[in-house]
Amino acid sequence: MDVLIEPVEHSGRPQWQVRLGVRGITFDEELAARQFAAQLRQRKLWLQERARTEEPSELQPH
């Protein structure tokens, strides 16, 4: 599942939608959308790496 930035138009104004799977959030400013997408990518990579390195028992709630 990739983080995507898609240009959209709402009420005649350009906006940018950051999507991860079926979920998305829309920004009026392209820079804000790009910054959010970069943070989301980093968080996603961190979570994937964490899931690979932790023991299965550590992932379960106590």
pLDDT tens sequence for the chain (62 residues) = 899 999 999 999 999 999 999 999 999 999 999 999 999 999 999 999 999 888 666 566 65
User: What is the reported pLDDT for 29?
Assistant: 97
Domain ranges in the chain are: 3-54
- Cα dihedral 2, 38, 48, 58, rounded to 10, equals -140
User: What is the reported pLDDT for 13?
Assistant: 96
CB atoms within 10 A of CB 18: 23
Q: Is 56 exposed, middle or buried (0-12, 13-18, 19+ CB in 10 A)?
A: exposed
